[in-house]
């Protein structure tokens, strides 16, 4: 049940409009021990708007949910997000996500979900002071995916086919990442040109 891809397109691009998955909350709830399987929901006004399933397996957690783009068919999304533990100065350990977006791997406490879960930087959700670069970052992410997919370079070009030898699930994940990052970069471009008010 639940999923992504409806009702959240085209809104204000800010961290408020996405579903945050905060590893500190998972940790505090004791959900990060290996072999756990659980679901996580987001609600607005008491109503569930999205949910995902998670499984912990050693040094990573598997995200499992469904996604569809622009009213297309629902696709199963399932991919690992690696965890990293660091020692705190005053003792104890802290846990982080490694952002699963292609070519990122940043150590972050919060992943933001739209069609894919990725860090704030990948989604172009920079803080105000650095917002002018968020479109560029999303564009770089989108370009990196085009390269991995062996598609013609340049986000002005249409998406291509699945490369030979790539699993469908990987293709769907990268394709969803691509949509998210390309949308961000185009929205940012339009904003810079004054086509969309901030
Ligand atoms: Zn990232």
CA of 123 to the centre of ligand 1 (A): 7
CA of 105 to the centre of ligand 1 (A): 6
Q: pTM above the 0.85 mark?
A: no
CA of 124 to the centre of ligand 1 (A): 9
Which protein residues have a CB closer than 5 Å to ligand 1 (ion)? 99, 101, 104, 106, 118-119, 122
CA distance 113 to 130: 21
**Per-residue pLDDT for 129 more than 60?**
no
pLDDT of residue 10: 38
Average pLDDT over residues 22-44: 92
The more confident residue out of 66 and 12 is 66
CA of 156 to the centre of ligand 1 (A): 22
Q: Which helix (H) or strand (E) holds 191?
A: helix 168-192
CA of 106 to the centre of ligand 1 (A): 6
The more confident residue out of 108 and 193 is 108
CA distance 144 to 153: 9
CA distance 117 to 20: 9
CA of 152 to the centre of ligand 1 (A): 23
Contact 64, 54 (CB under 8 A): yes
Give 124's contacts (C-beta < 8 A, 6+ positions apart): 13, 134, 135, 137, 138, 181, 184, 185, 188
The more confident residue out of 70 and 21 is 21
pLDDT of residue 53: 96
**Per-residue pLDDT for 96 more than 90?**
yes
Where in the chain are the domains?
15-118, 128-192
169 bridge partner residues: none
CA of 102 to the centre of ligand 1 (A): 8
pLDDT of residue 12: 39
CA of 122 to the centre of ligand 1 (A): 4
CA of 119 to the centre of ligand 1 (A): 4
Give 38-71 pLDDT, tens digit per residue.
999 998 889 998 899 999 998 999 999 998 877 7
Mean per-residue pLDDT of the chain: 83
CA of 137 to the centre of ligand 1 (A): 10
**Per-residue pLDDT for 5 more than 50?**
no
pLDDT of residue 70: 74
Predicted confidence band of residue 126 (pLDDT cuts 50, 70, 90): low
3-state helix, strand, coil in the chain (%, to 5): 30, 30, 40
Average pLDDT over residues 65-90: 87
Question: First CA to last CA across the chain, in angstroms?
Answer: 34
Give 139-167 pLDDT, tens digit per residue.
888 999 999 999 999 888 999 999 999 99
């Amino acid at each position: 049940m639940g999923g992504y891809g409806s009702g959240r397109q085209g809104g204000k691009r800010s961290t408020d409009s996405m579903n945050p998955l905060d590893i500190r909350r998972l940790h505090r709830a004791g959900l990060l021990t290996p072999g756990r399987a659980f679901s996580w929901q987001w609600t607005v006004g008491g109503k569930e708007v999205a949910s995902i399933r998670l499984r912990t397996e050693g040094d990573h957690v598997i995200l499992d949910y469904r996604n569809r783009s622009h009213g297309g068919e629902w696709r199963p999304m399932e991919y690992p997000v690696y965890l990293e533990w660091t020692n705190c100065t005053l003792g104890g350990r802290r846990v982080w996500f490694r952002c699963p977006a292609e070519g990122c791997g940043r150590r972050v406490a919060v992943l933001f979900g739209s069609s894919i879960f990725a860090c704030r930087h990948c989604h172009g959700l920079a803080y105000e002071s650095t917002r002018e670069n968020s479109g560029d970052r999303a564009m770089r992410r989108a370009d990196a995916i085009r390269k991995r997919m062996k598609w013609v370079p340049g986000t002005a070009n249409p998406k291509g086919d699945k490369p030979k030898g790539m699993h469908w699930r990987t293709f769907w994940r990268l394709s969803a990442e691509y949509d998210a990052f390309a949308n961000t970069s185009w929205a940012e471009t339009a904003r810079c040109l004054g086509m969309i008010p901030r």
